[in-house]
Amino acid sequence: MRKQERVSSLQMSMLFLFFMTGSSIVIVPAPLTNIAGNGAWISLLIASTMGMILLSGILYLNRRAPDLSLVEQSRSVLGNIPTLLLLIPFTCVLFWNIAGIVLEIGTFFKSTMLKETPTYAVNSMFFVTIALTALAGIEVIARMATLFFTLMFGCIVLVWVLVAGLYHPEYLLPVMPDGIRPILNAAYVVYGFPYSELVVFSIILPFVKSEDKPKLSKHMYLALIVNAITLIVSVLSSIMVLGPLSGDLKYSLYQLARLIYFQEIIERIESVIGFALIIGFYFKASILMLILIKTLKDLLGLKNERLIALPVAFICLLLSVTTYTKEAELEELVNLTWPLLNNLAYALPFLLILGGTFIRFHLKRGNKQPL
């Protein structure tokens, strides 16, 4: 968050991969297989293609104005008042997005490991950590990501490998027993979470070192492909192990970890895997907090954005304990309203800014200078 902070394109793509995979690896497989059944992997392919299109949009904007965030680009293309009108809902949804991730962590802990602990105690501890991480800045987060990336993805691969003995490839068939409609429905859900959320990443892309900018596109696309592959393999392994039950059991990867039994040496390792998976939630929430603080700084013209970090984190904490406190309500929001909300609050302003930039740069022939 300090002015001189810069990260390499590889670090930025690692943050992006964490952002995209972090919480979705735990949450997405179950509702996806519940709706689309064995065709869940097709839904993921459709949604990740949509994500790829959005990513190409944010990379296009970044190429046009490498040093400007989405807010500054909006100001430059649309003007001050439209920027405020478009980005106030964007910011409100961003506030809840962070709260929602921690709400999911709280629910995950409540139903798996810390059954007697009040959710607000878990959420408070998380928000203290998230706020301190965001205060440390993007460089520190990027350096931490290198270490935690190995831990989290190592544990995911470990689960895939250690449950290999329980795989029943025949469970994968038939692929589309109910036709294409459930697959499209599941694609809508997974597009809402996490793919349409990637738009907010355009706020922190200017942090990439200028000498690394040419490699950024390649690294970001690669990160999105790795994310899609990770989610697809997780969905496939959960279907191959749990069969028709995979849609009914929440936190599929954690459920798979519970089944690990290897020569009486490796068993009951689900808590270790659970904590490794929590890293993803923590990272995603920290990156989002950083994005929110940067958005507020640009939007409100703040000089010292570090001053508002703690009140912002506190508001997010209070949102996480006062909204959607019932699990069923949260599930309904994620599966029903969240994709539409994201489209209106995140994708729509982004597409308007993208359209404005495109018109300004390509159609007004005499105006080819950078924004």
Which residues bind to other proteins, rule: CB under 8 A? 35, 92, 95-96, 118, 120-121, 124, 128, 178, 181-182, 184-185, 188, 296, 300-304, 306-308, 310-312, 314-315, 317-319, 321-324, 329, 332-333, 336-337, 339-341, 344
Inter-residue contact 109 to 117 (CB < 8 Å): yes
- Cα angle 281, 26, 140 (rounded to 5 degrees) comes to 25
**3-state DSSP of 68-115:** CCHHHHHHHHHCHHHHHHHHHHHHHHHHHHHHHHHHHHHHHHHHHCCC
- Residue 77's alpha-carbon distances to 61, 83, 371, in angstroms, are 11, 9, 8
Cβ-based nearer residue to other proteins, 15 or 105: 105
Please give the single-letter amino acid code of residue 260.
Answer: I
In sequence order, the β-bridge partners of residue 262 are 266
Cβ-based nearer residue to other proteins, 121 or 229: 121
Count of beta carbons in the 10 Å neighbourhood of residue 333 = 18
Cβ-based nearer residue to other proteins, 18 or 188: 188
Q: How far apart are CB 129 and other proteins at their closest, in Å? A: 13
Helix, strand counts (H, E) of the chain: 16, 2
Cβ-based nearer residue to other proteins, 112 or 124: 124
Q: How far apart are CB 100 and other proteins at their closest, in Å? A: 10
327, containing H or E segment: helix 327-332
Q: How far apart are CB 225 and other proteins at their closest, in Å? A: 26
Q: How far apart are CB 193 and other proteins at their closest, in Å? A: 13
Q: How far apart are CB 153 and other proteins at their closest, in Å? A: 32
Buried b (16+ CB within 10 A) or exposed e, 174-212: eeeeeeeebbeebbbbbbbbbbbbbbbbbbbbbbbeeeb
Cβ-based nearer residue to other proteins, 228 or 317: 317
Q: How far apart are CB 333 and other proteins at their closest, in Å? A: 7
Cβ-based nearer residue to other proteins, 5 or 332: 332
Q: How far apart are CB 151 and other proteins at their closest, in Å? A: 28
- Residue 325's alpha-carbon distances to 131, 146, 328, in angstroms, are 22, 34, 9
Among 88, 85, 58, which Cα is nearest to 73's? 58
Cβ-based nearer residue to other proteins, 118 or 355: 118
